[in-house]
Amino acid sequence: MNVKEYLRQNDSHLREDVENHLSYTDSYKFAFTTGKTTSKKPRNKGIGMSMIMDGAVDLNLEMSIWDGRSMLLLPKFISHTELRRNAFDTGNKVGFYYYGRLKF
């Protein structure tokens, strides 16, 4: 929801009702893109989610992201197909957090 609201307010080349049409995977694809941020702070460079993804891949870490009613198993490659394949409705409202497990 944060990404949808940000794009509606700050990206004038998108359609006016973007928040009604932006999918879950579109939001995560935006968040995983280096340089993209919803922060209004001038120091934020938009590298948080992309660094988390790169670190998880480099460390061979199975990472899941829990957000609202959804869980995303972090794919090795960010594409709409992979995001959809790795996203699940949990059926329960949960907070936003990460869960990781090292693979040996």
Q: What are the tens digits of pLDDT across the range 9-61? A: 777 666 667 666 777 788 888 888 888 888 888 777 777 888 888 888 898 88
> In 3-state terms, what secondary structure has residue 102?
strand
Q: What is the pLDDT of residues 64-90, one digit of tens each?
A: 988 888 889 988 788 888 988 998 888
- Specify the DSSP element, H or E, that contains 57: helix 48-58
CA distance 16 to 96: 27
**Residue 45 CB coordination number (10 Å):** 12
- Closest by CA to 28, choosing from 10, 13, 48, is 48
pTM: 0.72
